[in-house]
Chain A
Amino acid sequence: MAMLTVEVDGKSVQVPNGATVMEAANKLGVFVPHFCYHKKLSIAANCRMCLVQVEKAPKPMPACATPVTDGMKVWTHSEAAKKAQNGVMEFLLINHPLDCPICDQGGECQLQDLAVGYGGSASRYAEPKRVVFHKNMGPLISAEEMSRCIHCTRCVRFGQEVAGVMELGMVGRGEHSEIVSFVGKSVDSELSGNMIDICPVGALTSKPFRYSARTWELSRRKSVSPHDSLGANLIVQVKQNKVMRVVPRENEEVNECWISDRDRFAYEGLNSEDRLTRPMLKDGGEWHEVGWEVALEHVASRLGAVRNAQGGEAIGALVSPNATLEEMYLTQKLLRGIGSDNVDFRLRQTDFAADGRRKGAPWLGMPVAELGSLDRVLVVGSFLRKDHPLLAARLRMAAKRALQLNVLHSSDDDLLMNVANKAIVAPQLLPEMLGQVVKALAEAKGTAAPAAVAGLQVADEARRIAASLASGKAVGVFLGNLAEQHPRAAELQVLVQMLAELSGGRFGFLGQAGNSVGGYIAGCLPQGKGLNAADMLRAPRKAYVLVGVEPELDCNDPVQTLSALRSAEFVVALSSYRGQLAEHVDVMLPLAPFTETSGTFINCEGRSQSFNGVVRPLGDTRPGWKVLRVLGNLLGVEGFEYDQSEAVRDAACGTASVASKLGNGIEGVSVGLKPVADSGLQRLADVPVYFSDPVVRRAESLQQSRDAKVPAARLSPVLAQRLGVAAGDRVKVRQGGEAVLEVMLEAGLPDGVVRIAAGHPATAGLGAMSGTISVEKA
């Protein structure tokens, strides 16, 4: 590409054709004051703060919107430039209230900062300032002082361009302009919190954080989000040993400069009343707080007793997929040390046919940053926006350029981006539909279709998706959470592998949780004859170890899980919260959440991200790796002499790199595609974004948002009519157990599918996340 030479403040720099003066200045490290310019958003040039002097230009030019020309000379701090910038600042301050002392943005406000350099010490403006009414934008964003707004429209552009939904707009004109949501609606995007960060003044501030601390009182500590498979980089801000708020830490390769609302506001759950702060022991039906020594010795002796009486395989361990690598590694080491191979973190998975046939740990199949350069993508079985808000944002940006996004799923959720082709079928039909895509792609490529799919009739949707994939140069096929949790997950993986081979592309897993890859790396799954998560609940064990698990919410089949726990002689739970544990377990050990322990998460691209605790553990809470280490010692297991979490991590990762252990290929899984007999209504279960893990479930503000509504029984209007129910009716749903839910109509659902979310107490009475279900009027 042709490079242009431009001189900024006397220093020469080379920039590509089409670059702006702002970019040239940034490349030189020259700061040009600005408000509306943001490197990730389109250019608006409406704040005028970045005016600079350009040679031969008769008037000052906005640096953000002026393309450089070869040989251009720019002065950003000359007399003329300064005069223009000072003038703009004076205008901006005319209507800006002088309420910095009570403004939450005070101390981290771009307007305040720049006013120091470019503003006058007193105002010449003596007339009344304009007043803009406050707005209610929902539980997360506070818009109580909209008079502070300087109309940069960063929030509006963020909504349009990154979040994909224009929830805010600027109405009126001139002096009457103001930012509104359409007639008082709340802002519901799963990325909305980023508007708080990009607001250069105190107009949009964080509602949960409001008036609770000043920015200069907070210490900033690095951390990593455990809530989804991306592992967004965080800065956790702490005051007096309490997490006060969470903001993004920029990492272009992972989360860019954004985080999802779940990453941002989940911290409220860390300070929840429900935190377990002392070890507790059930004795004769009564719960007692006890010291760690008593609790751990009790646990060791009870587990030891079970092992001695019934053998190690009578013990099983279920580990949260959001647990740290260290916790996962030590749990499996402990279990293996006492003679059990029954350990698993894949709590929502139902099909384990691929176990022992994988070439490595399933992962995204490519670096996250490369998602943006794909030109054809097929996403199979994913509640993409809610399960992976930032991966969805990357695909959304790509879809604006060359990417054709194809979707194969069981509900027609609005992804807020251009979808080229989609096939929406009932969950039990996903493998067949995927098989049709494979066959159509083979035909399009002029190769013989794999035997497994050769007999299928190809539907038009499948053919269109295949045509899209066939025309791509950089193809990616991804399996979402629904596909991973599908009863025929292994077949789906084989079919996706075929698609990748046929199209010369790559395939991978979006990843179910913060440490789903880490679980494989830590070996936290059965490796010999041990039982996987589903089997050890189907064939109940005598004793269970739960690490960070809320059994009735985190497992695929809550009914089966609870019945297995009830029948066990002894259950010990390491948990940050009490929840309903008291009903199901015998000992509760307070486990430090990610902010109170050091640890490591390995994200979907195989990036190992270690972090330190940012606050001291609450009460008697202890980091999981320390608890497990002592348990190992008490049970006499060898190799539990770790005195640092780093040593545990190094042991977990071994000498080979993480990258060398990744691999999506599977061999020896047969695909048997045949028409599925009509087996009645089928359940489709998502895990709503704000019920995905124990911390999020206790984040109060998130729980007030629209995405946290009590799950309903969602059906297509056609099905509702057939069942004789209407929106708002109460229905009794039976599947394993039963639940009474409200009916909600969702036009995008295939006929015969009832969508009922998992991970919520209202639906914990139901069985597995998939399968036949019955619905009748309550």
Chain B
Amino acid sequence: MTKYTDQGKQDTRSGYGAGMTELGRTNPNVVALCADLVGSLKIQTFIDENPERFFQVGIAEANMMGIAAGLTIGGKIPFTGTFANFSTGRVYDQIRQSIAYSDKNVKICASHAGITLGEDGATHQILEDIGLMKMLPGMTVINPCDFNQTKAATLAIAEHHGPVYLRFGRPKVANFTPVDQKFEIGKALMLSEGIDVTIFATGHLVWESLLAAEALENQGISAEVINIHTIKPLDEEAIIKSAKKTGCVVSAEEHNFLGGLGESIARTLAIHHPTPQEFVATQDTFGESGTPEQLMDKYGLNNKAIEAAVLRVMKRK
């Protein structure tokens, strides 16, 4: 299989911050909003360099979404910043009416997504956000896997007209995608070709899938690993093609199995090429306090869980 090297652990939210720094220097229409979480979103450099293009809205996320929608009228490209929980469920109706239905060019940028937020516990660990956002007509949903890819995605969504949900996280994770890899919205990335099973992964679980594929290779199983960084629009062609080749698939995501990437893949395959599938995801549950590693282990979201899912699904071929 193709080997990847961790260039040094970094948090994906810092990839967002680095992307915003670059956009601040290159795109005068980009503006940033934040609901009292500047440090968490890593956008201090953008603010220092572009104070007139930054709007601190305080702990008032609904107002932030509306202001962002309004800023597009006049040609600005607003990037909102808060935790994923407060970027989605808390403000769902504001996003639905003022942004999605109104077709406003707002980039909803959400940190601390999923269970790896860790010790703060379930109030902050949203595992339903992909589902909430992908259900909105016209919304693009992106969940990049590492620092480099999050930075590249941040740059790419500024060039895309329309509402986008960009989901990233808090923990430091392996940074392994090429530093100069262009981010193509809606285009799945083949990370490692295989013939026995396909692992479709998104976000933090992409690296875990590569670890799982390596362990499986040692057992004589050839796993194909595909990074689905864009959950909507979904690269159906890549999914169908790989499923036809390997005959069984595992989806892996830091999200509830209801409403997540796995369901989108299952729908695609049910229509075009019914294929046995296993879901690495949380099982319709809330999270809890703990370290990211402990939580990934307890809730079955790491390379071991992916490996087990592969062994299960291969028996169903």
Q: Is chain B found bound to chain A in the same assembly?
A: no
Which residues on A are within 8 Å of B, measured CB to CB?
A: none
B interface residues with partner A (beta carbon < 8 Å): none
